[in-house]
Amino acid sequence: MAAETPMPDRAIVPRSDRHQVVVVGSGFGGLFGTKALRRSDVDITMIAKTTHHLFQPLLYQVATGILSEGEIAPPTREVLASQKNAQVLLGEVTGIDLAARTVTSHVLGRELVTPYDS
């Protein structure tokens, strides 16, 4: 008989009274969309697979030693640190339930279900 693999812990993010926005990814669209909502009355959760925003057009300058890696790949949390209505989760989105308005992701070995309005 095969041993069962334990299911990862599952957590559900509690809803607040404010409009909930979930952003998938920390690319240009995700990062600038989140920054555009800086003064909006919303709570934003960005779920990204990487800890940084990579500006790929400058990769060749890093390869040739002109720029450091940190200059073209700033940490996403650092970019959004002063934005009080945004939080960044390191994880991979594994599902979006349109009917229930939830995003399921794996964050640090746990399954996380995040509700959203937008």
- Work out the pLDDT band at 67, boundaries 50, 70, 90: low
Position 68 scores a pLDDT of 67
CATH for 10-115? Answer: 3.50.50.60
* Domain-wise residue ranges, the chain: 10-115
Closest CA to 95 of 112, 108, 110, 73: 112
Question: pTM for the full model?
Answer: 0.76
Query: Which percentage of the chain shows pLDDT scores above 90?
Result: 43
Q: Which pLDDT belongs to residue 23? A: 95
Please list the helix, strand and coil fractions of the chain in percent, rounded to the nearest 5, in that order.
Answer: 20, 35, 45
The pLDDT of residue 64: 75
